[in-house]
A and B are shown apart, each in its own frame.
Chain A
């Protein structure tokens, strides 16, 4: 399981930033520290963290407002947010979750609690990614199955008809080479279809430019 590594910490208090930074780096995380609430969105886009620890009470933009903006943005909404706050009244916590926060940690920060909650969110994130992968796989398999079924019917008719034609054409007759080509190429298409039917993993390769296609040789068990 590949868990989250780069974590952004947002807090207007330099002391809090330093404490959390120390805890995270000791635990093996890479950190991105942001003290200015107004620059969080840009910093997120620049550094692409996999998790954000967000203070709530900050001058300028509050953590709740930053969370709302993150969740409304197309490119940042997938990044999980854990609030780090001294303000744990019911209304604030309710709002924090309503705005898309995954969890919260009370200040002063307890090292064990912080790391445990981060790990829990990280595992949750990984499971979500795995589910997306499974859905993608399932879609590919369904598509492959449909293509195979729909293609194999006409392929059967083309192959059989070309073979019948070959039977009727004497050796050396005009068109015999063409009929043989049709038979050979139809057999090749049938083989490609069999590979499609045996796709078991999502393996892909570069195609043209940055576009990617399924790597049939690796994805198929056949």
Chain B
């Protein structure tokens, strides 16, 4: 069964693109335009897979990841950034991100990684059940 994915990016075109890509691969997708909006959505629903832009007005992706990591420990969170120098891999890992992509990322790469993450979540859930 395909999983629920939350995409957080302040750029509407990016949200729409990733939604289209993931929905066409069978995922159930929700989007948020800011870290604050994402937290409101996460309070109501659980997401095993999450994609965060790093550089957003208001709460940035690093801060959002730190908060979400405590709320959703059994989840996989990816960072997708347009500006790699601003946040480095070290910061991303420290914040709790599982992986890190620099825009423009190929949708094939993204889908492959989401698929791998989805299987990993399945394994984790099998062990806990």
Q: Could you list which residues of chain A lie within 8 angstroms of chain B, going by C-beta atoms?
A: 141, 145, 148-161, 163-164, 167, 186-187, 189-190, 194, 197-198
Q: Are B14 and A153 in contact (CB under 8 A)?
A: yes
Q: Are A156 and B84 in contact (CB under 8 A)?
A: no
Q: Are B104 and A186 in contact (CB under 8 A)?
A: yes
Nearest chain B residue, comparing its CB with the CB of A147: B83
Nearest chain A residue, comparing its CB with the CB of B80: A156
Please pick, from B17, B20, B86, the residue contacting A145 in the complex, using a CB distance under 8 A.
B86
Total chain B interface residues with beta-carbon distance under 8 A: 21
- Chain B residues with CB under 8 Å of A145's CB are 83, 85-86
- Chain B residues with CB under 8 Å of A197's CB are 83-85
Binary contact readout B30-60 vs A (1 if CB under 8 angstroms, 0 otherwise): 0000000000000000000000000100000
SS class of chain A's interface: helix, strand, loop or mixed? helix
Of B65-73, B92-100, B105-113, B117-125, the one contacting chain A is: B105-113
- Chain B residues with CB under 8 Å of A158's CB are 104
Expressed in whole angstroms, the Cα–Cα distance for A194 and B81 within the complex equals 12
Q: Are B82 and A160 in contact (CB under 8 A)?
A: no
Q: With contacts A159-B106, A163-B107 known, is A152 near B83, CB below 8 A?
A: yes
Q: Are A163 and B106 in contact (CB under 8 A)?
A: yes
* B126 located at the interface, meaning its Cβ lies under 8 Å from any Cβ of chain A in the complex: no
Q: Are B82 and A157 in contact (CB under 8 A)?
A: no
Expressed in whole angstroms, the Cα–Cα distance for A186 and B108 within the complex equals 15
Expressed in whole angstroms, the Cα–Cα distance for A161 and B106 within the complex equals 10
* B78 located at the interface, meaning its Cβ lies under 8 Å from any Cβ of chain A in the complex: no
Please pick, from B17, B24, B83, B86, the residue contacting A157 in the complex, using a CB distance under 8 A.
B17
Please pick, from B24, B55, B105, the residue contacting A156 in the complex, using a CB distance under 8 A.
B105
Please pick, from A161, A167, A187, the residue contacting B17 in the complex, using a CB distance under 8 A.
A161
CB distance from B37 to the nearest CB of A (A): 19
